[in-house]
Amino acid sequence: MTELHTNILKHHIFRDFYEFYPERFSSITNGITQRRWLKLCNPRLAQLITEHIGEGWITDLYELKKLVPLAEDRSFQKEWQKIKRENKEDLAEYVAQYNQNHVDVNSMFDVQVKRIHEYKRQLLNVLHIITLYNRIRAHPDGDFMPRTILFGGKAAPEYRMAKLIIKLISSVADAVNRDPLIGDRLKVVFLANYRVSLAQKIIPAAELSEQISTAGTEASGTGNMKLALNGALTIGTLDGANIEIRDEVGNENIFIFGLTADEILTLKSEGYHPLDYYESNPELKPTLDMIGNGYFSPQQPQLFQPIIDALLRYGDHYCLLADFASYIRCQREVDEIYKRQQEWTKRSILNVANMGRFSSDRTVGEYAEKIWKLKPVPVPDA
Ligand SMILES: *Cc1c(COP(=O)(O)O)cnc(C)c1O
């Protein structure tokens, strides 16, 4: 759990309990193991890193800081780019085999992999996809940064809305991928059976990491850490560990958008009216109308009506419409930076270089010290 979520527990969910026993609250940020999420899953990048800074990072992730001076080194950047490309080729081959889908390795690999849940807002990502689709169709000769948007994730068996969102993603994918006007400029892939072994194939190939939960809802997130450790840049809200990732990598190396957790609370207490956003944003209205009127489900025009009702009739609990404009604007900025491959690569290297704090070695160390009050002992040689 992160600082933000601990404060939500102290001041909202367990407010009176916290007044009696403040000392019983303590926050330790989650972590991931670099042995699985770099060394094992991304052997090419692991080797490049080891060649330049040695293998200390395998047991002390803060060693990655030694990559900072290499971030602007042209020949190092070239090697970095070559590895990302090879990882993308591997994933493209997997997609061809298991999804019968062709994806272009020259496009940006934009990845959202995590459980399907309304608070994680895969639906906001879909609204962006439909917006891009409409822009390309309105200006077929325009200059668009090609993207491949990949989703992975399971929904709980009884969670009907989440199942319907999966259906929407694959229906939008069908429409977009088959449209001759779109070509290779936009591809959408839903990868079946997301699980750790599949995450290990996707994450090394990811360039953009979608961490777009409604601020105040994601206790930490660890997918965000895995993706950044493999050189993806994050587009995200100020939620969970995204905040701590920003603190480590710096504001200039992450794409932040949307309302803060406090602003979400204020908006709701003052009365949130999603219809106002629907009526006033000229890109949002057609996007929602297409979902609602069966554009993506011509055989069953009402199929996705429950999604539109959740947003426009039942209050848009996760504030997608309030964050839509800011998200779309931020994605344009992502395109601009991606066009400048040298700048993008520098930011990618700096992300990896600043991931030291997110090792589970640090997490376990904090548990030992703060919670269990244990002192480390030397491990005798075997
Ligand atoms: C890391 C991981 C998650 C957690 O992802 P979040 O983006 O933090 O929700 C979920 N599923 C799998 C298979 C993972 O490897």
Here the tokens at position 338 are: 């991606």
- What pLDDT is recorded for position 22? 81
Tell me, using a 6 A CB cutoff, whether residue 199 lines ligand 1.
yes
Across the beta sheet with 233-236, the strand order is 186-191, 147-152, 108-113, 208-211, 233-236, 255-256
pLDDT for res 54: 98
Q: Report whether residue 221 contacts ligand 1, using a CB cutoff of 6 Å.
A: yes
Distance CA 140, CA 186 (A): 12
Q: With a 6 A CB cut-off, is 216 part of the ligand 1 pocket?
A: no
Report pLDDT for 27: 85
**Distance from Cα 221 to the centre of ligand 1, integer Å:** 7
Assigned token pair, 13: 């969910």
Question: Ligand 1: distance of its center to the CA of 114 in Å?
Answer: 5
Cβ 241 under 6 angstroms from ligand 1: no
- Ligand 1 centroid distance, CA of 276 (Å): 34
**31-371 maps to which CATH number?**
3.40.50.2000
Task: List pLDDT tens digits, range 286-325.
Answer: 999 999 999 999 999 999 999 999 999 999 999 999 999 9
pTM of the model: 0.97
Whole-angstrom distance, CA of residue 285 vs CA of residue 346: 37
Out of 111, 222, 235, mutate this one to test ligand 1's pocket (max ligand atoms within 8 Å of CB): namely 222
pLDDT, residue 39, reads 98
The verdict on the CB of residue 195 being under 6 Å from ligand 1 is yes
Using alpha carbons, select from 89, 27, 59, 61 the residue that is nearest to residue 228: 61
Identify the residue whose C-alpha is closest to ligand 1 atom 1. Answer: 223
Task: Give the residue carrying structure tokens 């404060």.
Answer: 7
Å from CA of 290 to ligand 1 middle: 31
Taking CA atoms, 1 is separated from 8, 176, 363, in Å, by 11, 38, 10
First to last CA, the chain: 35
Does any ligand 1 atom lie closer than 6 A to the CB of residue 196? yes
Distance 158 CA to ligand 1 centre (A): 20
Q: Which residues of the chain have pLDDT under 50?
A: none
- Which of the listed residues 196, 218, 230, 360 should we mutate to test ligand 1's pocket, taking the one with most ligand atoms within 8 A of CB? 196
Cα(108) to ligand 1 centroid in Å equals: 21
Quick one: pLDDT at residue 151?
98
**Ligand 1: does its nearest atom lie under 6 Å from the Cβ of 370?**
no
CB distance 48 to 72 below 8 Å: no
Angle at 191 between CA 245 and CA 321, to 5 degrees: 55
Query: Is 258's C-beta closer than 6 angstroms to any atom of ligand 1?
Result: no
Indicate the pairing of strand 147-152 with strand 255-256: unpaired
Take atom 2 of ligand 1 and give the residue whose Cα is closest. Answer: 223
Sign of the alpha-carbon torsion through 171, 145, 225, 210: negative
- Cα 365 from Cα 342, distance rounded (Å): 37
The residue behind tokens 């993603």 is 169
The residues spanned by each domain of the chain are 1-30, 31-371
Give the atom of ligand 1 at the shortest distance from the alpha carbon of 113: 7
Query: What is the structure's pLDDT at 60?
Result: 98
Ligand 1, residue 226: give the atom nearest the CA: 1
Q: Which two tokens stand for residue 70?
A: 């290499």
- How far does the centroid of ligand 1 lie from the alpha carbon of residue 284, in Å? 29
Cα–Cα distance measured from residue 121 to residue 130, given in angstroms and rounded to the nearest whole number: 15
Tell how far the Cα of 35 is from the centroid of ligand 1, in angstroms: 16
3 CA distance to ligand 1 centroid (A)?
Answer: 20
114 lines ligand 1 (CB under 6 A): yes
Q: How remote is the CA of residue 168 from the centroid of ligand 1, in Å? A: 21
Cross-strand bridge partners of residue 113: 152
